[in-house]
Structure 1
Amino acid sequence: MSSTPTATARYWRDVTLRVAPGERVALVGASGAGKTTLASIAAGVLRPAAGTVRLGGARLERIGESRLGRHVALLSQEQHVFHGTLLDNVRLGRPTADDGQILVALGAVGALDRVRAFPGGAATRVGEGAHRLTAAQTGHLALARLALADPPVAVLDEATAEAGSAGARVLEEAAEAATRGRTTLLVAHRLAQAERADRILVLDEGAVVESGTHAELLASRGRYAELWWSWSGLRPDPEGGPRPSVPAPR
């Protein structure tokens, strides 16, 4: 996947992004830096005012919306529960899937035991007038839907943000499971997600200002390092060398 938007709205500045097959790339930056815009462009939801977006060498606008949906899945923080059973909700990812395949998808993201704990198990009816799901449960279903759809490319735009701190770790683990082996572009809600990415891009006002792994960016002591130290509460060694690796708070 490659995207080269050069002038969207007020601030894109010659951004070029190439994501290798199977690579997991996290987008990090302050609010308004352009993370969601870039993710939406990469997913084909938005078109750049200039430049091109390609998937496997083919321009997205030439692939067509229906075909593109089989190759690229976008999961945002705006997730919905549809009236019907839990099985029905997950089956939206692949309408031809049977119940066994849906249960496998639920198991793949660690949601199967939780679903079996519902009053009617996977056949529990949810949605308006039925069993109400929490934000974390809704996110878990959405990730199972993604696993069932099995697209080669996944774009996650703060997909676990609505779970709150209590459910964040569970959903982040589910998101990793749902995207394992896929080409993934991730707008990180928490920096723990960026830490586990193959590569991190730091955006600022529509420009990529840093790029590298978590360790490389901490060592460079730039924008990402400041964000990490602020978020984690850890500071670098005053002697100038990095501190021993300490897991960030979850």
Structure 2
Amino acid sequence: MLDIAFQAPWLYGTIALFVLIAGLLFASMKFLGRYIADQQMERVHPPNARKLSNEDFEALCCRTGLTRAEISRLYMSFMRITDGNSNENAEKIIQEVPYFQGPLQDRMVSALKLPEELDFVILASALSAFSEKAALDDKMRFLFRLYSSEASGTVSKQDLTKLLDDVLPEFPDEEERSTLIERAVEGTFEELCGSSEDQELGMEQFQMAATPLIGERCTIFF
């Protein structure tokens, strides 16, 4: 029987059957994944929370580059934090979303250019910079704002010193830690600007340093 199945014209029928089965299996798994996600959202939705429709998901996927599953998980987090309300304070959202916990958490609101009050569409749109589909230029601009403490369009020595001070752990010898940070800052400016006397990094110099790591470091799978 197997010999017959793999001889023409049976061969074409066998291939078509396999393709049909694979297609049906893919469609079934996709439907099952959506059903499970919808059931999970049912369990975490506060009574007054609005549900996302298929049209909402499609629009957000197109707008942000995030997958349906990522949007679903973000929305569940948003509903939990806001207790089902459509708007919430940006600082509270960033503090309670687990992806941003760390020494640079306080910089996220300004780096993401979030308004004081935001809804889920604004949040998802801002977080699109972390999508693996996001343009490298968008990721670069976000990272540049994260490093800069001023609206001057530059990263100063003070900015870089403050950032390193925030992210480096404590040393037993505080003087050794300060010396290490100072040398790192001076070395960075000398390498990128040609002289450690320059006090600010523009986007061009910053891009030279950040480009090799920008895709990996600025991608989050929500």
TM-score where L is the length of structure 2: 0.29
More strand by share: 1
Q: If you compute each CA radius of gyration, which structure gives the higher value, 1 or 2?
A: 2
TM-score where L is the length of structure 1: 0.26
More helix by share: 2
